[in-house]
Amino acid sequence: MLVWLLLVGLLLAYTNGANDNFKGVATLYGSGTMSYRRALGWATWTTFAGSCAAVLLSGGLVKAFSGKGLVPDSVTQHSAFLLVVGLGAALTVLLATSSGLPISTTHALTGALVGAGLVAAGSVNFGKLGQLFFLPLAVSPVCSFLLASILYPAFRTLRTSLGIERAMCLCVDRGRVELVDVRPDGTGVLRTTGMALTIGQMQTCVQRYSGRVFGIDSQRLLDQLHVVSAGAVSMARGMNDTPKIAALLVAAKGLGLSLSGAMVAVAIAMGIGGLLNARRVAMTMSYRITSMNHGQGLTANVVTALLVVLASRFALPVSTTHVSCGSLFGIGTASAGARWPMIRNIVLSWVITLPLAGLLAAGFAWLLRV
């Protein structure tokens, strides 16, 4: 039983990495700042760093997700109970990942704890469930949505006040003739509008910013801040998610795993899952929620990192998925680029996650007579 529990815990960590690891860097890929491979590599290293930091900063989440206080302590000490919780959550996340839908491992674990607890103990502490689990999970995406909706227009106003302009691509229709004056430096200028033109390949055509801030090229500064913010999101996700999964392994006394040992094992499995199976969710997060430029991606990351770090510090079990998607929903709304059919599907998957994980865990608990 202990061996199976260890394998299921690592499977849950693997599926978490496949579904979650790319979420921190999705804005880098979606805005054209980084290639898929480079963004995934950055996500892997910074998530691992967050997992290591969780040993010192996120111990409260280990206690919260061991099930203590939610179901009787005598139940949470059984390896079979922990096994069915891990199975219910892992299969739920695996199904979502295969569909390319970004869901919450936190949500799946909560549902699995409830489902297994109802079968094993006959009841759960619904007061604690609402206060410590449902409330943060419900409020966090709303907070990130509102904060991103407010911050993006504010950052855009700041950009224009600093004289930083957006450089746009121009697609020329062969059926039309535009008069172009060529400057000595080789730059073309449209005679009708005075717009300056440079020539490049279509695949490299991305929105960029022109101008300088404190003598530094604005695009270079923005790219560096964007990369740092994506790393901060991934690190915050590692801090918040690793202890939740490690809780299953630490609670099983027979495994003899220390807190640090469990978190390192979880971090490695998460990294492997992200490297091997992140692409489907990556495409959804990067392109199918909203179109985004560098500034919008930076704003979304700042909001996500801020809220997740605060939640980890105060042991609030928020979902990085809900926070990061909520910030992208807010950016899409503020920029009028939101793709609402996909947003609807994602929100629907969030609604289904908890009961599905609960039913799966309850079914496993019934089969194993937990």
**What residues contact residue 351 under an 8 Å CB cut-off, 6+ apart?**
none
Tokens of 1: 């039983």
pLDDT score recorded for residue 81: 87
The pTM of the full predicted model, rounded to 2 decimals, is 0.80
Q: What is the pLDDT of residues 292-318, one digit of tens each?
A: 888 889 899 999 888 877 876 776 667
Q: For residue 65, which of 351, 238, 357, 316 has the smallest C-alpha distance?
A: 316
Query: Is pLDDT larger for residue 125 or for residue 22?
Result: 22
Considering only residues 48 and 169, tell me which one the structure prediction assigns the higher pLDDT. 48
- 196's enclosing H/E stretch is strand 196-197
**pLDDT band at 281, cuts 50/70/90?**
very high
Non-local (6+) Cβ contacts of 273 within 8 A are 13, 14, 15, 16, 17, 18, 19, 21
* Whole-number pLDDT of residue 187: 59
Mind listing the pLDDT tens digit for each residue in 312-361? 677 666 788 889 999 999 999 998 889 999 999 999 999 999 999 999 99
* 3-state secondary structure (DSSP) of residue 175: coil
DSSP state at residue 104:
-
Structural domain spans, the chain: 2-160+218-367, 170-205
CB burial string 86-116: b at 16+ within 10 A, e below: bbbbbbbbbbbbeebbbbbbbbbbbbbbbbb
What percentage of the chain exceeds 70 in pLDDT? 78
